[in-house]
C-alpha cells in the first residue's frame, strides 16, 4: 500500500496532514471523576494514535445538560480545559493534528445526568423512544436506561445554547486544540432540530426544512466566528434505510434524506467550513450510501469530505481514487491498533478488538493494545 491515496498528504484548512487516515470521534467513557475531566491515561491513548493524519476527540459535552452517558468528558470547566491541554500537548509532541468534537445530546439523556435532576432539553417535548442513555449506579458501574422526556427549549434558550457552543469553541482553543468539529449526527441535539421526527416546532426553528436547519446554521456561524471556518468541521449521519440498529445508534431517516442533507451540506459550504464528516452505519450488512448522494455531496461542497464506517484500506482507497472523499476514518480498527497507519502501509495484520472493553474502565482496552512487532 506504499503509494496509495490513503498515504498521500493532503491540506486541511491551514494544516498539511501527513496521510488521509483519520481517528474519528469514539466514545470511551473514561473521564476522571468527579467532574468528567480528561486524564493522563486519555492523553496517552491519543498520543499512541497520533500517527493518524488527523484526529477528532471523543464527543465532549459543551455544558452539563449536554451529557447523555456517564463518564464522558466535558469542555466547559477550568479543570476540563486543563485536562484536555494535556491531551493536545501529547498529540502535538508526536506531530499530530487534533480537533475537539463539540457535543450536546439534547433529549438523549436522563434526569439522573441532568443538573438538579431536571428534564433534558430538546427542540420539542418528544421522548427518544429508541435510543438509550447510560447512568452511573455506583463507582465504576452503570446501566443503560430509557431517556427521560425532554423539555422544549424556548427561543431565548436556543440563543443561549448557540452561545454555549461558541464558548466551548473558545475553551477548545484555550486547551490547545487545532480546531473543532460540531457533532450534528446520531440523533443528538443538532440532528434533533433538523429532523421532523424530533422537531415539531411551529416557530422559526421548525416546520420548513430551512427553519429546521436554522439551529445548525446559527451554531456553525457562531463557532466559525470563534475558531475560523478553516479550523471547523461538521459531522452528519444521513440515513436512507432504517433498521433497529440504525434507529438506536445512528439517528433518523428523513422523508427525503437526500434533499435534507444536501441542503444541510450547503449550509457548511456557505460558511466555508474546512471539512464535512459523514458517518455511515458500520455493522454487518449495513447498506452503503447511495452513489448519487455521494456525488451530490461532492457537487454541493468544495471543502474536504471525510467518510467513516466499515472501511477497509481497499474500500477507502476506492472512494479516494474516485474523487468522492478526501479523508477516510477508521474507528474500531484504530481502537485496537494504535499504529494503524503503519499497519495499513505495510500490510501487517491487525489486532482484534475486544468489544467488552470499549466503554468505561481504565487501561484495559484503551492503552494496552500493542503496536506491531516485526
Mean pLDDT per 10-residue section of the chain, whose length is 374 residues: 86 98 98 98 98 98 98 98 98 98 98 98 95 95 97 98 99 99 97 97 98 98 98 95 69 92 98 97 78 98 96 95 98 97 96 97 97 90
Q: Where are the alpha helices (DSSP H) in the chain?
A: 40-48, 78-93, 155-174, 189-194, 209-212, 214-227, 244-249, 257-271, 291-300, 313-321, 332-336, 340-346
The full set of domain ranges for the chain reads 5-357
What pLDDT, on a 0 to 100 scale, did the predictor assign at position 2? 65
Give which of 337, 352, 279 is closest to 310, Cα–Cα: 279
Fold of 5-357: TIM Barrel (3.20.20)
Residue 140: count of CB within 10 angstroms of its CB: 12
Q: Which of 45, 69, 188, 261 is catalytic?
A: 188
Return all residues near 281 (Cβ < 8 A) that are at least 6 apart.
239, 243, 245, 246, 249, 250, 287, 309, 310
Residues counted in the chain? 374
Largest CA distance in the chain: 62
CA angle 297, 298, 302 (to 5 degrees): 110
| Dist CA 79 CA 82 (whole Å) | 5
CB 170 within 8 A of CB 81: no
Residue 145's H or E segment, with its range, is strand 141-145
For residue 62, the SS3 value is coil
**Residue 244 — φ and ψ, nearest 5°?**
-60, -40
Give which of 129, 256, 102 is closest to 187, Cα–Cα: 129
Question: Catalytic residue at 188?
Answer: yes
Amino acid at each position: 500500500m506504499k503509494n496509495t491515496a490513503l498515504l498521500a498528504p493532503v491540506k486541511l484548512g491551514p494544516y498539511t496532514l501527513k496521510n488521509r487516515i483519520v481517528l474519528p470521534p469514539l466514545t470511551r467513557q473514561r473521564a476522571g471523576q468527579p467532574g468528567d475531566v480528561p486524564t493522563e491515561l486519555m492523553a496517552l491513548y491519543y498520543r499512541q494514535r497520533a500517527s493518524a493524519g488527523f484526529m477528532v476527540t471523543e464527543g465532549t459535552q459543551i455544558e452539563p445538560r449536554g451529557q447523555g452517558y456517564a463518564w464522558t468528558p466535558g469542555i466547559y470547566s477550568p479543570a476540563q480545559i486543563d485536562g484536555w491541554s494535556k491531551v493536545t500537548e501529547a498529540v502535538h509532541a508526536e506531530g499530530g493534528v487534533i480537533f475537539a468534537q463539540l457535543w450536546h445530546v439534547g433529549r438523549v439523556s436522563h434526569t439522573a445526568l441532568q443538573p438538579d435532576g431536571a428534564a433534558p432539553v430538546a427542540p420539542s417535548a418528544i421522548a427518544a423512544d429508541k435510543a438509550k442513555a447510560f447512568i452511573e449506579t455506583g463507582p465504576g458501574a452503570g446501566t443503560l436506561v430509557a431517556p427521560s422526556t425532554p423539555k422544549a427549549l424556548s427561543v431565548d434558550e436556543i440563543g443561549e445554547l448557540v452561545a454555549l457552543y461558541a464558548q466551548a469553541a473558545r475553551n477548545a482553543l484555550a486547551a490547545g486544540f487545532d480546531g473543532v468539529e460540531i457533532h450534528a449526527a446520531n440523533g443528538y441535539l443538532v440532528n434533533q432540530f433538523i429532523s421532523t421526527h424530533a422537531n415539531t416546532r411551529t416557530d422559526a426553528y421548525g416546520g420548513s426544512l430551512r427553519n429546521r436547519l436554522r439551529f445548525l446554521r446559527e451554531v456553525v456561524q457562531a463557532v466559525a466566528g470563534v475558531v475560523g471556518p478553516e479550523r471547523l468541521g461538521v459531522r452528519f449521519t444521513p440515513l436512507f434505510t432504517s433498521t433497529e440498529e440504525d434507529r438506536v445508534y445512528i439517528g433518523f431517516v428523513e422523508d427525503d434524506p437526500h434533499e435534507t442533507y444536501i441542503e444541510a451540506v450547503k449550509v457548511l459550504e456557505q460558511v466555508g467550513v474546512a471539512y464535512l464528516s459523514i458517518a455511515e452505519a458500520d455493522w454487518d450488512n449495513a447498506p452503503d450510501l447511495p452513489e448519487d448522494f455521494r456525488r451530490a455531496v461532492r457537487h454541493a461542497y468544495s471543502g474536504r469530505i471525510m467518510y467513516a464506517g466499515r472501511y477497509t484500506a481497499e474500500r477507502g482507497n476506492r472512494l479516494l481514487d474516485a474523487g468522492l472523499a478526501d479523508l477516510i476514518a477508521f474507528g474500531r480498527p484504530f481502537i485496537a491498533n494504535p499504529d494503524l497507519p503503519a499497519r495499513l502501509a505495510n500490510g501487517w495484520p491487525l489486532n482484534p478488538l475486544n468489544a467488552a472493553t470499549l466503554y468505561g474502565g481504565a487501561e484495559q482496552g484503551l492503552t494496552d493494545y500493542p503496536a506491531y512487532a516485526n
